[in-house]
Each structure stands twice: as structure tokens, then as C-alpha cells.
Amino acid sequence: MSERSPRAEPAPPRWTEVRALAEAVLAQPPERRAALLDRACGGDAPLRAEVEAQVRACERAAQAVGFLAEPAAAFAAPLLAAAPDDVAVVLRATLGARYDVERELGRGGMATVYLARDVRHQRRVALKVLHPELGAALGAERFLREIELTAGLQHPHILPLFDSGRAGGLLYYVMPYVDGETLRTRLTRERQLPLDDALGIAREVADALAYAHARGVVHRDVKPENVLLHDGHALVADFGIALAVREAGGGRMTRTGLSLGTPQYMAPEQASGGRGVDARADVYALGAVTYEMLVGEPPFTGPTAEAVVARMMTETPRGISGQRPSVPLDVEAAVLRAIERLPGDRFVSARAFGDALRAGGRAGGGAGGVWTVPSRMRRGPVLVALAVAAGLASAAGGAAWPSSSRGRA
């Protein structure tokens, strides 16, 4: 029989308690603070450490707010040395009255996303904070103005923007919390999705893109991490953020060496830094995501971003039905057309791509005639046979691009 310990482990300090204590400490003159901490925290070292961290963050945030008249790089400077967890503490200190930060949800190349409670509306939200060094490199006003454009998007498959702003030198925006998973998480688990699921998700994302494109907003960062799945339906996140970062960064973005975007899903003209990137870059990205849902890996993989881009510029992707014979030829033709290297060879719009997927999925491989055959499908029978043989030989799984470790929903 196991012996019961006389005392349970102390529960982790609660934020309300930490915050109340931190406020009390901050109200004291510096020489009286240690005594108050001794009294209030007793021997509870974790509680004391949390309260001290909160007090330090509040002081840092107050200092940063004092710099608001300065350029972004200057006011963000005190936060540059802040560890990511300190960012959460700064948020609690500066935004605590509006958003109760609960925990980190995930981290991407540009930002960290926290689960928070919108205090006024009593709802759970995702609070996304740009990494301090990125926030410092951007023109804050410009960034906030640019993302306002995306706040006007209202569509059943676009995750809306609730709020945005600047707190303690950090740039943030707020969106609904999606209690589900990202498409990345699902792909990591299942590798290939059932055909109907893959086509359903692709069509919903195509609808969302077509809606935004009609309003002049291009996503520029369509990838499995930005497709959130809720109740089997797709919600596209981060609409217009990549462009807002680019616009607000100006020349500084290249100087700071920050690379934006994920090469596997990036259209060749976007990966090569071309200026004339339009809606067809999103068509390419959705084509690449759809290819991965069907095949199990994106059209071009490689050990580094440079290797992926080099292959994208010189090679044609492997056919789909050769690797997965259950995929109808019409669907394969539509996906390969979406990822044509030249924008002019792709569908003219996300709407046209979505329609082709709809027709292809229904026809189950029949001749649709809605689009012309993509250049890379115009192959002789020998090449098709070789492609099928190659697909069978690698059916056990080829070399996959190391999947992102960032997608944790």
C-alpha cells in the first residue's frame, strides 16, 4: 500500500495572484519591496520568482512606453534582449487589463502565438506577437495600417482580425482562437489525406483566396501552418500579414537578413524576389499544399531552402497519380496546372482552380475540358510508364523535407 504524503505539492502560482502581488510590490518604494515579498510569498520560491519577473517586466515595459516618441528600433531596443518567456510577461504587464494571457500556442518564423482570454468579451482569442527583433525592424504605424486592410475581410473560411496594436514596444494582433489543429499537424499525423478531405480543404481555401483576391488582398504565405482546421473545415490565417511585414519593412528587411515565407509553397517568382507577385502566387501555393495533401510531400523538397528553390527553377514535379493511383487524372491535371513555373501557365484565378477541383473531384477522372493539359503532363506513354514505375518504387516513402517542428496546435 502506498503511503500518502502528508502535504500535496504546491499548485503552480496563479496569474491573478502573481499579478495582484506584483501590483502591490510596484506600489512600494524600492527599499520596502524585499520585505513585502518575504511576507507575501513566505517560503514559496516559485511564486516569488514569478512575482519578481512580473515586477521586472512592468518596469521594462514602462521604460519602453517612455520611448514611444522614438523610432520603432529605439523603443523596441530594451526588449531585444528579452527571452520569449519575458515577452509573455511584458504582455501580461501591458495588456493584462484587456487580454489574460494563458499559455503559448505555437511559434513561427515571425511571431509567437498565445492563448488568451479577451476580458471584455469573455472569449478565448489567439494573441500573436511579432518577434521583438522583427517588430523593431518594422515601421509600426505602417504595419498596423497595412493589416487594417485585412481586417475588412469577412468570409467563412478566413480567420478574421479582432484587434491589433503596440504594447511595450511589441507589435501584436488578435484573432479568434481555433480549437482544432493546423493542416500541418494533420499532415504530420496522416501524411496523405483521404481524397475527399483533401479536395474539400483545397476548395475552401480556394474560395477564401478568390474572395480576398477580388478585394485586392494577396496572402503570400499560404502553407499548411496557416490553414487551421475546425470541425473538418478550413480557416485561412494570417491573411495579408506577409505583405504588411514586407511593406512596413522596406529596405530594412533585407538588411536584417530576415527571410519571409516558406520555400516549399512559394511560387518561383516570389522565391526569386520578383516584384510582380500577384494572386497567381497564391494559386501556386495552394497547388503545392494540395499536392502535399494528396502525395504526402510538397512538389519540391530538399535539405535547404536554397536546394528547394534550385529544384523549383529547374525540375518538374513528379506526377501525382503515379504516386497515388486513386487520384483522378482531372484532379492531377488541375494541381499540376496550379504549380506551373510560369504564372501565365497557371489558372488565372483561385476561383478557376477551385472550380477545376470541384469538376475533377466530381468527374472522378473523366475528361473535363475545363482547362488545358499542363505542360508537364504532355508526356509520351513511355515517360508516363516511367513515372508510374517510379511512383510504385517509392511507394514506401521517399526522402521528405524535414517537416516543420513549429506546427503545434
111 is in the binding site of which of ligand ADP, Mg ion, none (Cβ under 5 to 8 A by kind)? ligand ADP
107 binds ligand ADP (CB under 6 A): yes
| 258 is an interface residue for ligand ADP by CB under 6 A | no
For 111, phi then psi, to 5°, come to: -160, 170
* Number of CB atoms found within 10 A of residue 152's CB: 12
According to CB under 6 A, which one of 226, 270, 316, 349 is a site residue for ligand ADP?
A: 226
Q: Is 50 helix (H, G, I), strand (E, B) or coil?
A: helix
The answer to whether residue 221 is catalytic is yes
358's contact among Mg ion, ligand ADP, none, with CB below 5 to 8 A by partner kind, is none
Of 79, 118, 75, nearest in space to 95 by CA? 118
Query: Which CB atom, from 144 or from 161, has the smaller least distance to ligand ADP?
Result: 161
Among 169, 354, 374, 407, which residue sits at the site for ligand ADP (rule: CB under 6 A)?
Answer: 407
How many residues form the binding site for ligand ADP (CB under 6 A)? Answer: 23
Among 209, 229, 237, 331, binds ligand ADP (CB under 6 A): 237
Residues 89, 91, 92: CA angle, nearest 5 degrees: 65
Give the one entry of Mg ion, ligand ADP, none that residue 323 binds, where binding means its C-beta sits below a cut-off of 5 to 8 angstroms depending on kind: none
Dihedral sign computed on CA atoms, order 51, 53, 58, 63: positive
Residue reference for cell 522583427: 134
User: Which residue's CB is nearer to ligand ADP, number 204 or number 355?
Assistant: 204
Residue nearest Mg ion, Cβ-based = 238
Instruction: Read off the C-alpha cell for 35.
Output: 520585505
Residues 113 to 142: which contact ligand ADP by CB under 6 A?
A: 113, 126, 128
Round to whole Å and give the CA distance between 156 and 170.
30
Q: Which amino acid is at 124?
A: R
Task: Tell the smallest beta-carbon distance from residue 171 to ligand ADP (Å).
Answer: 13
The binder of 406, among Mg ion, ligand ADP, none, by C-beta within 5 to 8 A per type, is: ligand ADP
Taking contact as CB under 6 A, which single stretch among the options 102-110, 323-331, 371-379, 391-399 is the one that binds ligand ADP? 102-110
Which has the closest alpha carbon to 326: 187, 188, 196?
196
Between 109 and 200, whose beta carbon lies closer to ligand ADP?
Answer: 109
What CA–CA distance (Å, rounded) separates 323 from 211?
Answer: 32
| Residue 225 binds ligand ADP, judged by CB under 6 A | yes
Q: Which is nearer to Mg ion, 132 or 368 (CB)?
A: 132
Compute the radius of gyration of the chain from its Cα atoms.
25
Catalytic option among 221, 238, 282, 330: 221
Q: 16, 97, 17, 89: which is closest to 58 by C-alpha?
A: 89
CB of 101 to ligand ADP, least distance (A): 14
Q: Distance between CA 259 and CA 399 in Å, rounded?
A: 25
Give the CA-trace dihedral at 267, 271, 275, 279, to 10 degrees.
Answer: 20
Please tell me the distance from the alpha carbon of residue 285 to that of residue 137, in angstroms, as a whole number: 27
Which residues are near ligand ADP by CB under 6 A?
Answer: 105-109, 111, 113, 126, 128, 159, 175, 177-178, 182, 225-226, 228, 237-238, 406-409
Q: Which residues are catalytic?
A: 221
